[in-house]
Amino acid sequence: SAAEKGGYDYFMLKEIAEQPKAVADTLLGRIDASGSLTLDEVRISPRVLREVDKVVVVACGTAFHAGLIAKYAIEHWTRIPCEVELASEFRYRDPILDAQTLVIAISQSGETMDTLMALRHAREQGARVLAVCNTNGSTIPRESDAVLYTHAGPEVAVASTKAFLTQLVACYLVALYLGQVRGTKWGDEIQAVVRDLSRISYEVERVLATMEPVRALARSLAAKNTVLFLGRHVGYPVALEGALKLKELAYMHAEGFAAGELKHGPIALIEEDLPVVVVVPSPKGRSVLHDKIVSNIQEIRARGARTVVIAEEGDEAVVPYADHLIRIPATPVLLQPLVATVPLQVFACELATARGNEVDQPRNLAKSVTVE
């Protein structure tokens, strides 16, 4: 009913709008006054966590994209090798797991059969499993050694939005907690990131307030058949997520690529007026990465692409090559996905609407996939 949708036309719009609160709720009570993490519900002892020598993330779809991003944070802050695998592929390749492996199973619903089967397989091999889940008491957390709940509130729209942002926050908390428990040389950085995380809800709010041009752009592209998405570093999984949203909602051919891979094949797809969305990493800190993506944008634009550039406020280097410029707030490098994903959600939702598609119930899809 209209009341359930809180005055929005679709649950998806409501859930996009709820993201600042969802993100804040996921952080709530997990950072103490001194800036230390208190993840009491993670009932895996610090002794066991200190012995972890490999992290494996298993998930599907959007939750898998959260895992791909989490890998950057986990490896950076903990120096523990981290693999991320589609849950549906995981057990079939006989993965190497033992009691020192920490498996993180990410799932909004907690009922995804592929993810459940992956975690059962991991536990049979002696690995510890930590679920990152949005649904209290669902099967995946019940069968795991521990759970860190994302407090996004019920997500009704088939396309995942607020669950994704809170999965990222939860995974960052796990990464920072592992760093804290094990003691890393990144102690000061961890403190700074904790402070930045507590501001992220406000930054998401700011992004949401500037989405009208994104909606107008989406409407103008409603007759297109293909949209490509490019990113580098944590912006690469963001590109994959932007493409997945467009597939499931707008039923368009959408693909995400690591921008560095362009010259290894995908650049052959570029033709006159093809929309290409580029997620530009922060110009601070990783200037090499930033320079490379600027030249990627130049390369595709020279071949006729219509560039839609998502770049931080103050990033002027991209301006000459952006046919459409979407600004996001400057954040620390690893936190950028929390703001960069939001315009892509809005873009897909508006394109679906413009194409007359059912936003909350896309064809052929179910909210929770309980078959393998």
Catalytic positions are: 367
Among the listed ranges 109-117, 250-258, 276-284, 309-317, the one in contact with ligand AGP (CB under 6 A) is 109-117
Question: Which residue in 27, 42, 55, 63 binds ligand AGP (CB under 6 A)?
Answer: 63
Tokens representing 197 are 């995380």
Cβ distance to ligand AGP smaller for residue 63 or 300: 63
| Site membership for ligand AGP, residue 166 (CB under 6 A) | no
Question: Which residue in 37, 158, 279, 351 binds ligand AGP (CB under 6 A)?
Answer: 158
3-state SS assignment for residue 265: coil
Cβ distance to ligand AGP smaller for residue 103 or 159: 159
Report CA-CA distances (Å) from 41 to 38, 116, 254, 258.
Answer: 9, 20, 39, 36
| Site membership for ligand AGP, residue 240 (CB under 6 A) | no
Closest distance of CB 366 from ligand AGP, Å = 8
Cβ distance to ligand AGP smaller for residue 15 or 312: 15
Tokens representing 95 are 């993965």
| Site membership for ligand AGP, residue 119 (CB under 6 A) | no
Cβ distance to ligand AGP smaller for residue 52 or 152: 152
Give the Cβ contact number of residue 260 at 10 Å.
Answer: 15
| Site membership for ligand AGP, residue 115 (CB under 6 A) | yes
Closest distance of CB 292 from ligand AGP, Å = 29
DSSP summary character for residue 224 = -
Q: How far apart are CA 34 and CA 31, in angstroms?
A: 8
Tokens representing 334 are 């690893």
Size of the site for ligand AGP (CB under 6 A): 15
| Site membership for ligand AGP, residue 282 (CB under 6 A) | no
| Site membership for ligand AGP, residue 201 (CB under 6 A) | no
Closest distance of CB 202 from ligand AGP, Å = 25
Q: What's the half-sphere exposure (Cβ side, CA atoms, 13 Å) at 337?
A: 33
User: What stretch of H or E contains 113?
Assistant: helix 113-124
| Site membership for ligand AGP, residue 368 (CB under 6 A) | yes
| Site membership for ligand AGP, residue 107 (CB under 6 A) | yes
Q: How far apart are CA 10 and CA 331, in angstroms?
A: 30
Residues 6+ apart with CB under 8 A from 249: 12, 159, 348, 349, 351, 352, 357, 359, 362
3-state SS assignment for residue 24: helix
Q: How far apart are CA 369 and CA 318, in angstroms?
A: 40
| Site membership for ligand AGP, residue 178 (CB under 6 A) | no
Chain residues that interact with ligand AGP, rule: CB under 6 A: 60-63, 107-109, 112, 115, 158-160, 248, 368-369
